[in-house]
Chains A and B, each alone.
Chain A
């Protein structure tokens, strides 16, 4: 093995009483792509934040290029040649690419010289790594894939030899992700070291040389990627065997439960996000909506669930119209049997400061079962919450615990339990497993399929293509606010990927 670019020896980090990193040892070889996988809360981000100087380790040693390093701030990290591409980009939206790249690294009091210098440097980087970006483009006008490229350029411009990428493909189409991987391989060939943090095992297998698995704050294993399998990694992550693909029978679709016709929705900036969409969902089927984040899926969900007012269009629920452009509110829709598991469980689906039992009635707090006159029927609410905790295996099983203290997977189970146990006719689910650990994903998928088999109409919106493909009986692909195609579950990833990128539509227009 080549010389180590980074060595972490005995790293410990606690937040209050929570031990986020325990005695971590990690060696990352120079000129390799090293993957770090683990469930949410396994401590990956904390570890990388220590390496990048956001946090200080409580104990342990960091060696960069064989020499002990003290990294107190991100400037120290940059000086040591460590660059980081964050999951959420740190770019100034209304600056140009060049301006963003020199930000914080201006070489002169006046900008002109810095920009000139950056321009020539940028040209060199473009040549060497195939990172083409128009240096004078405004960031907000660039697609996310290119914005990410700017982040990479920013790190390289600062002389990064070691590049850390945190969940880099979450916002990319499959084609953009492939392009990113080509760039990373190019970087590797030029002798750079890449650390890739992800929870997508497929990516790990496709691109990394070595992979380390974290679980509950500890480093459980490091493997040579070529000598491991997705199954083994998943098992290491969770600590037990997991089913990666859900098993389900044929759908037995019945009558139309929800019919959406010519629905148009605008966002708060008055931009049309959902553009004249029509589709329907029948009883006993799961319809999946695939698409890159930001193509109108969120607005579609919000409109159908009554949270956001639609501009025009008509929607029939069980054959009766609902007025989504006017008076309909989420409470009314719930009464009519439409349950909604929102994309953003932290701010919408749950009140994190509430106790678990309080969240188990959110939205259904008007239900006479939970009330005694104007008062809450605490006994009934607690009994109900305990019942759901048992049925959905929510842990820890304490209905008095603050919701913020549950893990992502268990929080999602709280929402699902609440919505599914109301026995709705239609269930719409946004990002069913975002930020949810592998073990819980399996559980959630099984539950959704069980809902389908009970004859419910289920709509699933997800940016995880794998999830859409394994759950759906029909797949609709959204691009730029429109449905650009419908496919069966047998559709290949490449086919869906092209649709998600809007390729077919552009060709048709030409």
Chain B
């Protein structure tokens, strides 16, 4: 016997409830800040100012957001098909191989605008292939995708460490990374857009990948809600039995969904590798794949929500770095706690405040929550 959730108006569902969740997360985080003896209001001001106060801050926030949009979309596409892809981290990491090889091969001969599409294709392809193996094991052997993708994260990490301290490392170098790319594999910055609004930017890695991320967000929306393939993925995601009934091949849909998910994870690589560091270094993904899970959940698996959630997490990353710098009592770990609280309240406890909001709405205007559509409760 489930409690029937009445419908809320869309603005409350997608705006008000996330806002309440977020506020609670920040209030609790405020107590944590108080606990270490700092002023939570000042901390909040530093955090927000660090992220949005200056042009450089905004550029960094959007740079981080770009990465999270890719990983968030990756998790969301799989989730729409009922698959929990924990392997975004590994798929992105191993895609660094594809992107790196393309860059190293062509950076001296091609201009960036030719290297870029090749690198997109290579990163997407390697990510997709890496996701294909767990997908195949799930579809054909029933090996649980959560377990296999976690394992594949470790395998990807091991392979990359081997390659970056061995074959891909320049002979003379001590650092576990490839040689730096030449101009042919450096992506143009987008900092000038922010400067158009009068802000000053010293140096920030905000680059053209942001636009690619927005395009991908639109394409994911198109895929999920406007194509036959997306319809099939959602059907399988909600009910594998209904998918079987509708003649949708389980194997096919799992393989396709995971490959798209892996490809999006792989495209995340472009942002730090070609847009920022201009080399492939060890651990360049640094947890962005896992943040993608939170971003996808918080964005309620919708591309618009994911873009907004990615910007929020970009803000936490950038503002958090500033905060750790300004308030010595607050370490990097504290920032992780705040991020954790956001994930807790916005993701895991998403529905905690829902019944209260509903009751509130029902008492104001019963029609707005669709009271006439009484749900069929089992007799």
Q: Hey, which bits of chain A sit against chain B, CB under 8 A?
A: 15-20, 38-46, 49, 54, 167, 197, 199, 216-217, 305-307, 329-332, 334, 340, 342, 344, 347-354, 358, 362-363, 365-366, 371, 374-376, 378, 396, 401-402, 404-409, 411, 435
Contacts and interface: CB of A to CB of B under 8 A. Distances in A.
Rank and list the top 9 A-B pairs by shortest CB-CB distance, nearest first.
A331-B247, A17-B6, A17-B362, A363-B246, A408-B376, A407-B376, A330-B247, A16-B6, A17-B369
Contact of B242 (A17, A340, A362, A374): A362
Interface in B365-379: 366, 369-379
Interface in B232-252: 232, 234-235, 238-239, 241-242, 244-249
A401 B246 contact: no
A330 B243 CA distance: 10
Contact of B228 (A43, A217, A366): A366
Contact of A404 (B222, B228, B362, B375): B375
A193 to B, nearest CB: 21
Given A17-B358, A332-B247, A347-B242, A405 B379 contact: no
B227 interface: yes
15 contacts: A16-B3, A16-B362, A17-B6, A40-B379, A54-B1, A344-B241, A347-B242, A348-B244, A349-B242, A351-B238, A352-B239, A363-B246, A376-B226, A376-B231, A407-B375
Contact of A16 (B232, B244, B369): B369
A326 B358 CA distance: 50
Contacts of B366: 17
Nearest to A330: B247
B4 interface: yes
A52 B175 CA distance: 69
Interface residues of B, number: 42
Nearest to B368: A17
Interface string B3-14: 111110000000
A46 B226 CA distance: 40
A74 B80 CA distance: 39
Interface string B209-236: 0000000000000100011110110110
Contacts of B377: 20, 40-41, 43, 45-46
B246 A396 contact: no
A285 B74 CA distance: 51
Given A305-B245, A362-B242, A401-B373, 8 more contacts: A39-B379, A45-B378, A374-B229, A375-B222, A376-B226, A396-B373, A401-B370, A411-B376
Nearest to B359: A16
Contacts of B1: 45, 49, 54
B374 A41 contact: yes
B53 interface: no
B166 interface: no
B227 A376 contact: yes
Interface in B199-216: none
B287 interface: no
Contacts of A38: 379
Nearest to A401: B373
B246 A331 contact: yes
B379 A42 contact: yes
Contacts of A43: 377
A221 B143 CA distance: 56
Most chain A CB within a 10 A radius of its CB, from B5, B238, B246, B370: B246
A243 to B, nearest CB: 21
A277 B111 CA distance: 70
B247 A351 contact: no
Contacts of B241: 344, 347-348
A151 to B, nearest CB: 18
Contacts of A407: 374-376
Contacts of B362: 16-17
A96 B173 CA distance: 72
Interface of B: 1, 3-7, 222, 226-229, 231-232, 234-235, 238-239, 241-242, 244-249, 355, 358-359, 361-362, 366, 369-379
Nearest to A41: B376
A363 B228 CA distance: 11
A405 B373 contact: yes
Contacts of B358: 16-17
Nearest to A410: B376
B312 to A, nearest CB: 26
Given A16-B358, A435-B376, A402 B7 contact: yes
A329 B220 CA distance: 29
Contacts of A375: 222, 226-228
A199 B378 CA distance: 11
Contact of B247 (A334, A353, A354): A334
B351 to A, nearest CB: 12
A408 B377 CA distance: 8
Kindly name the residue among B3, B232, B239 whose own CB sees the greatest number of chain A CB atoms within 10 A. B239
A40 B376 contact: yes
Nearest to A407: B376
B9 to A, nearest CB: 12
B228 A340 contact: no
Contacts of B242: 347-351, 362
A365 B239 contact: no
B364 to A, nearest CB: 11
A374 B239 contact: no
A199 B379 contact: yes
Nearest to B249: A329
A378 B375 contact: no
A15 B4 contact: yes
Nearest to A14: B362
A334 B248 CA distance: 12
A353 B231 CA distance: 12
B290 to A, nearest CB: 26
B5 A16 contact: yes
A16 B355 contact: yes
A241 to B, nearest CB: 22
A314 B370 CA distance: 50
A493 B57 CA distance: 80
Contacts of A18: 4, 6, 371, 374-375
B229 A330 contact: no
A216 B379 CA distance: 12
Contacts of A354: 234-235, 238
Contacts of A365: 228, 231-232, 246
Nearest to B371: A17
Nearest to A411: B376
A503 B243 CA distance: 39
Contacts of A358: 231
A405 B370 contact: yes
